[in-house]
């Protein structure tokens, strides 16, 4: 009986984990981010993105080559959107920017600020 209870608990945990993974995959399939335009850029650049119909929080995080967070930009709405990055925020160099939806990583891309 104890073995059966253990097996049932394990199966329930695996099912719960599978449901969470399915939810993350669904968000990732309908959330996306495009390459910034222009790239490299001097004055400003735009990043286009697509967000799902329902979510609680979304953001784009810009990091330097050392992985330090330079800026976090909260984004909202559903469907297609765009943000503009002012070159004054960054010194010349390469940066990564990543999209997160409900604290789940969706994707990351590179941009170059040419000064």
The β-bridge partners of 51 are 79
In this prediction, residue 108 carries a pLDDT of 94
In this prediction, residue 19 carries a pLDDT of 45
Tell me: cis bond preceding 84? Omega within 30 of 0 counts: no
In this prediction, residue 28 carries a pLDDT of 52
In this prediction, residue 12 carries a pLDDT of 60
For residue range 98-113, list pLDDT tens digits in order: 999 999 999 999 999 9
Judged against a pLDDT cut of 80, whether residue 62 lies above it is answered with yes
DSSP 59-113: EEEEE-TT--EEEEEEE-SSEEEEEEEEGGGS-SEEEEEEEEETTEEEEEEEEEE
């Amino acid at each position: 009986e104890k073995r059966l209870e253990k097996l049932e608990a394990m199966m329930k945990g695996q099912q719960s984990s599978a449901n969470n993974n399915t939810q993350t995959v669904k968000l990732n399939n309908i959330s996306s981010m495009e390459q910034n335009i222009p790239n490299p850029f001097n004055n400003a650049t735009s990043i286009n993105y697509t967000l799902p119909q329902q979510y609680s929080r979304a953001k784009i995080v810009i990091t330097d080559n050392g992985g330090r967070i330079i800026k976090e930009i909260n984004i909202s709405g559903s469907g297609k959107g765009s943000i503009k990055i002012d070159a004054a925020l960054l010194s010349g160099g390469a940066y990564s920017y990543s999209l997160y939806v409900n604290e789940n990583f969706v994707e990351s891309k590179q941009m170059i600020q040419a000064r």
